[in-house]
Amino acid sequence: MVAPAQSSLSQLVPFRIDPVFTARVWGFRDLRPWYDRVAETEPIGEVWLSGDECKIASGPHAGEKLGRLFADAHDAMIGAKTPAGSPLLIKVIFARGKLSVQVHPDDKMAQKYGEPRGKTECWYALEAEPGAKVAAGLKSGTTLEQVREEIAAGTLEASLNAVPIERGDMVFVDAGTVHAIWPGSILLETQQNSDITYRMFDYGRPRELHIEKSLEATKFGTHAGKVAPRRLPDRTVLIEAEYFRVEEIAMGGSRTSRSRTSLSLRGAGESAGLSYLFAAAGVGRISGSGFEPVDLPARGIVAVPASSPEFVLEDASRSGEKLDLIRITPNWPS
């Protein structure tokens, strides 16, 4: 018999988060088979997995908004001596059309305009059609005046650095990078918890542009581009950058949350902290003392608070499938 779930704000148990399906002009009307969701009106382009408005779907705080729990139980969620609020926004991007060409400010510029933080992000290709590409950065030698002229002429794409992507690729997009997502891939996006977007060019669509701010935010020397995976005995580090770390965890049937075991969800020497577990494929189940088991559905996400008790994650996929687990953790700037 499972003991009653922990309800204290000083210790929180793992919990599932309900996604928020967000309308975008460039999205799809039917997200199946990825999600059992068909748009009733506007197409859906983004599935927010850890937004402040997302609702907790399991455990003693079910029905509450995620942002509220971060505010009420900061230390239990993230750990002491960390910045206030939810640190990461995780999304799945479904692009049927081209997204705008855009750029995000860094922390300094965002705070200049009254925002708490800028936006550095990364894209992990969950699926990609042959020939799929994204844009990350400007071609060498491009000038700010040239960018301004090409925005006016509608020819900005000619100066973008096109990056071919395949399933399993990771692309880093640090703040200040001129970038765009083009059709042909489904992307898991991890970013600072900010929705600041300065649209530079939008293919004539009747949406607001932010040309002057986008030019101010633009950096010609960024670290954007593909990131080579770092393979370890028990996991593959897809990216480790300022603000976030994204790993693919080899399951082998089950994993414990203990850091001292060889089949741990935590990396060697990693202290307890907030993490998110995303099922890119297959399904999982989390169980432990003091809380009801938590199901991790395909393309679903579970938050593991810093104060979580020990648990075991099992691959609960049906025969012929397996849990493809992505683990995402904050990585605080030094």
The model's pLDDT over 135-156, given as tens digits with 9 standing for 90+, comes to: 999 999 999 999 999 999 999 9
The pLDDT value recorded for residue 37 is 97
What pLDDT, on the 0 to 100 scale, is given for residue 263?
A: 57
Tally the C-alpha atoms within 13 A of residue 277's C-alpha that lie toward its C-beta: 33
* CA-to-CA separations, 218 to 100, 182, 190, 231, 278, in angstroms, rounded: 15, 20, 20, 33, 32
**Tens digit of each residue's pLDDT (9 = 90 or more) over 90-139:** 999 999 999 999 999 999 999 999 999 999 999 999 999 999 999 999 99
> What would the DSSP string read from start to end of 180-197?
EE-SSEEEEEEEES----
3-state secondary structure of 328: strand
Mean of the per-residue pLDDT values of the chain: 93
Give me the percent of the chain exceeding a pLDDT of 90.
85
* pLDDT tops 60 at residue 314: yes
- Is residue 7 pLDDT above 60, yes or no? no
Whether the pLDDT of residue 1 is over 80: the answer is no
Residues in the chain: 334
Query: What are the pLDDT digits (tens) for 186-245?
Result: 999 999 999 899 999 999 999 999 999 999 999 999 999 999 999 998 899 999 999 999
Average pLDDT over residues 76-97: 95
* pLDDT single digits (tens) 121-130: 999 999 999 9
Q: What CA–CA distance (Å, rounded) separates 145 from 147?
A: 5
Determine the residue type at 48: W
Domains defined along the chain, listed by start: 19-53+88-226 (2.60.120.10), 230-331 (2.60.120.10)
Q: What is the mean pLDDT of residues 233-262?
A: 84
Closest CA to 324 of 231, 228, 236: 236
- DSSP class per residue in 219-274: -SS---EE---EEETTEEEEEEETEEEEEEEP-TTEEES-TTSTTBSSPTTPPS--
Q: Note if 199 is an active site residue.
A: yes
Rounded Cα gap, residues 85 and 72, in angstroms: 10
What would the mean pLDDT of 297-325 be, rounded to a whole number? 94
The predicted structure's pLDDT at residue 306: 94
Residue 6 has pLDDT above 90, yes or no: no
Residue 3: per-residue pLDDT:
42
pLDDT of residue 265: 85
* 77 pLDDT above the threshold of 80: yes
Residue 171 has pLDDT above 50, yes or no: yes
**Whole-model pTM above 0.85?**
yes
Whether 294 has a pLDDT exceeding 70, the answer reads yes
Please determine, for residue 39, whether its predicted confidence score (pLDDT) is greater than 70. Answer: yes
Q: In this structure, are residues 77 and 83 in contact, taking their beta carbons and an 8 Å threshold?
A: no
Query: Among 263, 267, 326, 319, which Cα is nearest to 300's?
Result: 326
Q: Which of 199, 235, 245, 299 is catalytic?
A: 199
8 pLDDT above the threshold of 80:
no
Both tokens assigned to 13: 């148990």
